[in-house]
Structure formats: structure tokens, C-alpha cells
């Protein structure tokens, strides 16, 4: 991950990064990490990423609608046991997480900046 200057996640500090470090200890995370869960809470978006997506009317594909982070872990474990279809679903789920995080940032950026400076 060294080619990226910034890592943006949703609940990554508590879930994604510890999971990745446990599964792939050789991966280093030394760049700036922004966990959007916390600033989004400050501007009124509570719940998990899928809940925030619903609040902003962001949809997911038929294959991944209804899947959660727990399902992502289950899909990974199924892949480790040889289920290639589980990996395909997991990759689609993760791709949608990334695309939707970018969409969320684009939709709420001005409100995040306004909130930050209104607290000064």
C-alpha cells in the first residue's frame, strides 16, 4: 500500500485494518488514515456503511444487496476453503464499498468541511 498517500475507510480503524493486518502481517499501513465513520456521525449519519448508503439513496448490485461486513468475513473464509464464487462475490462487495465511499465523500464533503470550521 505504499503508493497511496491516504487510506480512506468506514470503520476501518476497528475492523478492516486489524483484519488485514492479522491475515497479511507483511502489509504496512504507514500513510494517513481517515476513517469516515466518525466525521459522518458528527454530521448526523449514524449506523454502518450500508445504513449511510440507504440514507443517501445509494444502491448496490443485486448480488451484494443485504450483505454486511460479517458476510464479507464469511465469504473470505469460504474462499479460503476453495469456494471461488465466494471470492467473486467478495470482490464485487468490496468494489462497491470503495465506489460508494467515493460517492459518499462527494455528496457530503461540503457539509463535513462546514462542520469542521463551525466548531472553531
Q: Would you call 114 exposed, middle or buried from its count of C-beta atoms within 10 A (0-12, 13-18, 19+)?
A: exposed
pLDDT recorded at residue 16: 87
Report whether 100 contacts 58 (CB < 8 A): yes
Residue 114 inside a domain? The answer is yes
pLDDT recorded at residue 36: 93
Residue 1 inside a domain? The answer is no
Cell output for 45: 449519519
Residue 15 inside a domain? The answer is yes
Residue 83 inside a domain? The answer is yes
pLDDT recorded at residue 44: 92
Residue 34 inside a domain? The answer is yes
pLDDT in tens, the chain (120 residues): 567 888 899 999 998 899 889 989 998 888 899 999 999 998 999 999 999 999 999 999 999 999 988 899 999 999 999 999 999 999 999 999 999 999 999 999 888 778 765 654
Residue 100 inside a domain? The answer is yes
pLDDT recorded at residue 119: 58
Residue 58 inside a domain? The answer is yes
The number of folded domains in the chain is 1
Q: How far apart are CA 49 and CA 112, in angstroms?
A: 16
Residue 95 lies in domain: 6-118
Residue 43 inside a domain? The answer is yes
Q: How far apart are CA 118 and CA 56, in angstroms?
A: 23
pLDDT recorded at residue 116: 66
pLDDT recorded at residue 120: 46
Longest Cα separation, the chain: 53
pLDDT recorded at residue 30: 86
Amino acid at each position: 500500500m505504499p503508493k497511496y498517500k491516504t487510506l480512506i475507510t468506514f470503520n476501518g480503524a476497528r475492523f478492516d485494518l486489524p483484519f488485514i493486518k492479522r491475515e497479511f502481517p507483511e502489509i504496512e499501513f504507514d500513510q494517513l488514515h481517515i476513517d469516515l465513520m466518525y466525521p459522518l456521525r458528527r454530521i448526523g449519519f449514524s449506523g454502518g456503511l450500508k445504513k449511510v448508503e440507504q440514507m443517501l439513496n445509494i444502491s448496490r448490485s443485486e448480488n451484494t444487496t443485504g450483505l454486511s461486513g460479517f458476510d464479507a468475513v464469511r465469504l473470505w473464509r469460504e474462499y479460503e476453503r476453495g469456494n471461488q464464487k465466494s471470492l467473486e462475490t467478495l470482490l464485487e462487495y468490496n468494489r462497491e464499498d470503495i465506489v460508494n465511499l467515493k460517492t459518499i465523500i462527494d455528496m457530503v464533503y461540503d457539509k463535513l468541511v462546514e462542520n469542521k470550521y463551525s466548531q472553531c
